[in-house]
Amino acid sequence: MAYFITESCIGCTACSRVCPVDAIAGAARQRHTINVRRCVSCGTCGSVCPKQAILDGHGKTCHAVPRAKWPKPKVNPVLCSACGICTVQCRFDCMRISDPAFRGDIHVHAELSDPAKCVGCGGCVAICPETAIRLLKNRSDGTYEITVPFCGELPELDDEILIRPLSGGEEKPCRVIQAIPRRPRAFSALVRAVSDTI
């Protein structure tokens, strides 16, 4: 469900500058609006709003989050085929294909090249055909917020799903905190969940 900007908006333009799909419009010092057909429910706009003027898809007020605490993509180099789709998709040019270790090295993979530019929208996670990318964020209670690709019927809030750690091993139960429908041109929907381990 799309996000919504309330009358508390002061038109600071912070949200429109970080929107990865250009879904937010408005003039400076005037209330902005979100194009519900373009919004991908990534929550980035709510993370920068200084007036808490943005409601998420469930009508809850979004709170500003320091940029250092935004989720960042982590790539499993074993799964990544270095196709480059994530690098093309990223509006902020923060993903790249790693340099080869030597001439002829075929073991290259996508990587976050500029963490300061990344807005943590999850576009790279949703577009990856190999499901090799996840968003990870440390939470203040010592748990982790994980955004993973998801196929099939989306779970409900607070449902428990099993997620395999990025490094492999047994699947771990995780509590769903957001389910984001599949975006246009994406390979999968996204699920944000809370886990004790990454």
Q: What is the pLDDT of residue 188?
A: 92
pTM reported for the whole predicted model? 0.89
Per-residue model confidence as pLDDT tens digits over 16-50: 999 999 999 999 999 999 999 999 999 999 999 99
Q: Is the pLDDT of residue 197 over 90?
A: no
CATH architecture of 1-65: 2-Layer Sandwich (3.30)
Per-residue model confidence as pLDDT tens digits over 21-30: 999 999 999 9
Mean pLDDT (whole number) for 62-89: 95
Q: Is the pLDDT of residue 1 over 80?
A: no
Q: Is the domain defined by 67-195 classed in CATH 3.40.50.720?
A: no
Are 1-65 and 67-195 the same fold in CATH? yes
- Whose structure tokens read 């960042």? 72
Distance between CA atoms of residues 127 and 149, nearest Å:
9
Show the tokens assigned to 70: 């935004």
Could you tell me if 67 and 114 are in contact, meaning their C-beta atoms sit under 8 angstroms apart? no
Q: Is the pLDDT of residue 4 over 80?
A: yes
Could you tell me if 26 and 13 are in contact, meaning their C-beta atoms sit under 8 angstroms apart? yes
Cβ atoms within 10 A of the Cβ of 80, count? 21
CA angle 163/189/195 to nearest 5° reads: 25
Nearest to 77 by CA among 158, 15, 167: 167
Show the tokens assigned to 198: 């990454």
Q: Is the pLDDT of residue 56 over 90?
A: yes
Could you tell me if 172 and 198 are in contact, meaning their C-beta atoms sit under 8 angstroms apart? no
DSSP 52-107: --EE-TTSPBP----GGGS-EEEE-TTT-----HHHHH-TT--EEEPPPSSTT---
Per-residue model confidence as pLDDT tens digits over 92-151: 999 999 999 999 999 999 999 999 999 999 999 999 999 999 999 999 899 999 999 998
Residue 184 phi, psi (nearest 5): -55, 140
Distance between CA atoms of residues 155 and 187, nearest Å:
17
Q: What is the pLDDT of residue 115?
A: 95
Burial of residue 110 (number of CB atoms within 10 Å: 0-12, 13-18, 19+): buried
Q: What is the pLDDT of residue 169?
A: 85
Per-residue model confidence as pLDDT tens digits over 168-192: 789 999 999 999 998 877 889 999 9
Q: What is the pLDDT of residue 96?
A: 97
Q: What is the pLDDT of residue 167?
A: 75
Q: What is the pLDDT of residue 166?
A: 78
Distance between CA atoms of residues 37 and 2, nearest Å:
8
Q: For the chain, which residues make up each domain, given as ranges?
A: 1-65, 67-195
